[in-house]
Homo-oligomer: A and B are copies of this chain.
Amino acid sequence: MALTSSPAPVAFLGPAGTYTELAALLACPEQPHLHSQGSHPLVPYPTIIACLEAVATGQQEWAVVPVENSVEGGVSMTLDALWQLEGLQIYQALILPIRHALMGRAKALEQIEQVYSHPQALAQCQVWLGSHLPQATLIPTRSTTEELDRVQTQPMAAVIASERAAALYKLPILACPINDHPDNCTRFWVIGRSQPKADLASPGGSHTSLAFSLPENVPGALLKPLQVFAEQGLNMSRIESRPTKKSAGTYVFFVDLENAPDQPYLSPKVIAALEQIAETLKLLGSYPVHDLSKQGGIAFPN
């Protein structure tokens, strides 16, 4: 990926004010080992798949997508799209702390009849909502910010989104933080197009991600790839299974590995061993991880 003189645009799940937009502002796709200056122009898309397709088809250079939340788990849409679309690769991971705020123009919590947000945000606040807003109907939306315009004029409606979203839309914050788990954080990936030799062209870094399907469903089938990782001393920081969608009971496994300290890529030996075992193997990239959840909060860019 050649460095361009002006930063290339980044696709994100919009509209403005989502956590993904914040991740995109903080990401530094072209030089993932530096901290971003937030100078990439951002382009909102209505869905995660649309963001990734925009990169796969060359419409945009980069996409920032959520991968996993510490409370609600993997983001299926991201994993499925990365398995299905060709030519995409991970350049960077960003971990953001998540602080959910309830915002709207209600005079009191008792007045609120509907709460709008992304299903993951609703799920992450379910205990708080059950005890503070038992009367409210929870209405899932495609992003945390999709219904922010509605609450400008409807005081009986409220939205769960970031404090930054409240500031952007000039909405009063009614309660914050309202997430049930204080350590809530979300991991995002910066995705770009892959080069012909994916394992060499990716930026390299502390982690490698890959996905594979297995040729047969027999005792110990999954054991083989995990043995390859263990024999090489590679720690699996995550494994997640998703249905292949071809037939029931067949899965794609998504694995994140911690690279050895002196080895920013997966070794050709491990790749060759996996190619022997897997039905289909997809190397998704080796990349650095910026964990902003452990730095005592982040300064919100505007």
Q: Which residues of A contact B (CB under 8 A)?
A: 68-73, 76-77, 95, 119, 123, 138, 140-142, 181, 183, 185, 187, 217-220, 222-223, 226-227, 229-230, 233-243, 245, 247-249, 251, 293
Q: Say whether B243 contacts A72, CB under 8 Å.
A: yes
Closest to A218 in B: B235
Q: Say whether A70 contacts B247, CB under 8 Å.
A: yes
How many of these chains are in the complex? Answer: 2
Q: Which residues of B contact A72 (CB under 8 A)?
A: 76, 243
Q: Can you show 23 pairs from A to B with CB atoms below 8 A apart?
A: A68-B243, A70-B243, A70-B245, A70-B247, A70-B248, A71-B243, A72-B243, A73-B242, A76-B123, A119-B119, A181-B245, A183-B248, A219-B230, A219-B233, A219-B234, A219-B235, A223-B227, A226-B226, A237-B249, A238-B241, A239-B241, A239-B251, A240-B240
- Top-9 shortest CB links A-B: A220-B230, A70-B248, A140-B140, A219-B235, A223-B230, A71-B245, A223-B226, A219-B233, A73-B243
Q: Which residues of B contact A243 (CB under 8 A)?
A: 68-73
